[in-house]
Amino acid sequence: MRIIKHKNKSFTALGRVCGIAFVSLWLVHPFLAAQEPIKTATEPRLIEVIADHKSRFSVPGQSEAAISVKAGEKVRLRITAMKAANRNRDGSVHGFTLLHPGDHKPVDGWDFLLQPGTQEFVVTAPMEPGNYEVVCTVICSGNHEHMSMKFTVLPSDQ
């Protein structure tokens, strides 16, 4: 082991290296604490939807416009809305509202007015499994009545 003399004191090389490492970490610690937290596997699942100019919903890569989620699952909806024949006074070209099975009442937190372009919404799926329906709530064209999509909530253990 090598001994280093400094101002009448003796240090081992290992002790000096450990001291330098400790001081370096102590100085850097505030900067490490200010960093973004490490992202975990709990990030919401991304679901892309298109509300097109022909007043139809579609899901890229799927032949049928349908979404399946697990009860209570957190999802990020990325919805691209294209102008149809009409729009609301506020500029909305489509709506995206999730309706409960049976009574067809809107699900709290799942009622979005869509401006032209792409918007994102982070939402939590209903806890009750079932076959829900997504409907457009903006009179977007003559085909507006048919602008809907199947939305299935599966039990969380599936």
Q: Hey, which residues does 106 pair with through a beta bridge?
A: 99
The residue count of the chain comes to 158
In angstroms, how far is CA 6 from the centroid of its own chain? 58
CATH of region 45-154? 2.60.40.420
Pairwise CA distance, residues 142 & 54, whole Å = 9
Q: Which two tokens stand for residue 31?
A: 């900067």
% of the chain at pLDDT higher than 90: 50
| Strand residues in 7-129 grouped as ranges (E) | 9-12, 45-51, 57-58, 66-70, 74-81, 94-99, 106-114, 117-124
Q: Where are the CATH 2.60.40.420 domain residues in the chain?
A: 45-154
Residues of the chain predicted below pLDDT 50? 26, 28, 31-36
pTM listed for this prediction: 0.69
Residue tagged 């372009």 (tokens)? 117
Pairwise CA distance, residues 111 & 106, whole Å = 7
Could you give the 3-state DSSP secondary structure of residue 131?
strand
Q: What is the DSSP letter of 56?
A: -
Per-residue model confidence (pLDDT) at position 80: 94
Pairwise CA distance, residues 110 & 74, whole Å = 12
Per-residue model confidence (pLDDT) at position 32: 46
